[in-house]
Chains A and B, each alone.
Chain A
C-alpha cells in the first residue's frame, strides 16, 4: 500500500480529518468510507454515471475522478449539504418526490446535485439545456421523463 497520509477536507462547511489514508483514494471513497457521507453513490468509478456528483469549489464534478488528497483546501458540497438538515428536503429533492422522478433511487443523489448546479447557474433552462446538464447522469429506471418533469417543476417553484 505504500505510506499512508493524513490531511483535512472541507465538506459541507465542516473540516474533516482524514487519517491513515492511501494516497490514491478517490474523494468518493473518502466521503463514503471515511467521513460517513454515503449520499454520493459508487457505481462506475470512471466518471460515466454521475452517481457520485459533488460540487468542488462550486463546480460540478464526479467525486470518483477526484484524488481526495488533491482536494485539500477546496470547498466540497455533497448531496447531504444541499438541504437545511437531515430531515429536510431541498426544493429539487421535493420536486423529484412530487413528480415521481425517483424509482430505485440509486442515481437520484447525483441527479439532485447536477440539477442544483444547473439551476444555480441557469435558473430558466430550456428542455435541451436540462438534457445537456444531466447528460452525465445515468438513470436506468425512469427513462428520464419523470426526471425532466421534476427539473421543470423545481424551475417553476423557483420562478414563483
Chain B
C-alpha cells in the first residue's frame, strides 16, 4: 500500500516494515506545502490521522499526557486552559481555524521549525517527548529531539506518540510577534512559566535561533531577584537586566520575515511583558491589552 491509514500504532509500525521509505503524515499543514510546491515527492506515506493511541489527553498524577495527534483546535479546549495555559495560548496563535483543525502537536515537533509555536512552551515546561517504534519506546527532552532547523533525532519508523508536561504548573504566558494576529509564522515567540512553589522563572525563546533557546542566565537572575513571599517583581533596573540577558541569549538571523536586530529586540519586549502579565494576573490586576488575541 503506497498510502496507508493505520488505526493503531501497531498497524503503523507494520506499514513501515512493508514500506521502509514511507514518510509520516500528521496534519499535513507543512508536509502538503512541500508536496504542492514539488519540494517533497514521497514514495509512500503513512498517515497518522486515524491512529487511536495518538488521540486525546489524560492526567497521570501530576503529569499531563498529551497525544501527539491533538490538533491545535483540540488543544484550545477549556479544560486544558487550566492545565497547560501557555500551550493553549500558543495554539490559538497558530494559523487560522482551518490550520488549527488540521495541524497537530506531534506534527509541530516532527517538522521542527525554529518558529514552531508549541515549542517554546514545551521547552519552558521541560516537556518529555515519548517516541515509539517497533523496537520500543523512548522518552526525550525537547533539545534531544530537535537538534537543528527541521532536524530531529527521530529514527526510521519512529513515531512521536505523546508529550508529557507537568499539569497546571504555576502561571504561564505565551507571546508572539508577527505582522497580524492570524495566519502568521512567528517573527519571535516567547513562553514564560513562573513556578510559584519552586520559586523559579523559566523562559524559552523561539524563532531567534536554529532551535528553541532557554534563556537560562535571565531565568536565574530574575528568579533570584523576585520577592517570592510578597509575590512582587523587582524594580525597573532588575527587569532591564533580565531583558538584556534574554536578548543576549537569542541567536537570531536576518531572513525574509524579519531582521536579527528586530528579533532580538522583540524577544526582550515579549519576555518582560510576559513576566509583568503573569505577576499582574496573579495579583488580580488587569493590564491593558493592546489586542484581543495576543
**Chain A residues in the interface with B (C-beta under 8 A):** 2-3, 5, 7, 23-24, 26, 45-48, 50, 53, 59-62, 64-67, 69-70, 72-73, 114, 117, 128, 132-133, 135-137
Contacts and interface: CB of A to CB of B under 8 A. Distances in A.
Contacts, number: 105
A70 B25 contact: yes
B28 A45 contact: no
A64 B36 contact: yes
Interface of B: 2-3, 5, 25, 27-29, 31-33, 35-37, 40-45, 47, 49-50, 73, 95-99, 101-102, 181-183, 292-293
A26 B293 CA distance: 31
Contacts of A7: 3
Give the interface SS of chain A, mostly helix, strand, loop or mixed.
Answer: mixed
B182 A47 contact: no
A73 B183 CA distance: 29
Nearest to A42: B36
Given A26-B36, A66-B102, 16 more contacts: A23-B2, A24-B35, A24-B41, A24-B42, A45-B37, A53-B98, A62-B102, A65-B98, A67-B35, A70-B5, A70-B45, A73-B50, A132-B293, A135-B97, A135-B182, A136-B98
B98 A67 contact: no
Contacts of A69: 2-3, 45, 47
A70 B44 CA distance: 12
Nearest to B101: A59
Contacts of B44: 23
A47 B31 CA distance: 11
A46 B36 contact: yes
23 contacts: A2-B2, A7-B3, A23-B44, A26-B32, A46-B37, A50-B96, A50-B98, A59-B73, A59-B102, A60-B98, A60-B101, A62-B102, A64-B36, A65-B27, A65-B28, A67-B35, A67-B45, A69-B47, A73-B50, A114-B98, A133-B97, A135-B182, A136-B99
A10 to B, nearest CB: 14
Contacts of B27: 65
B126 to A, nearest CB: 31
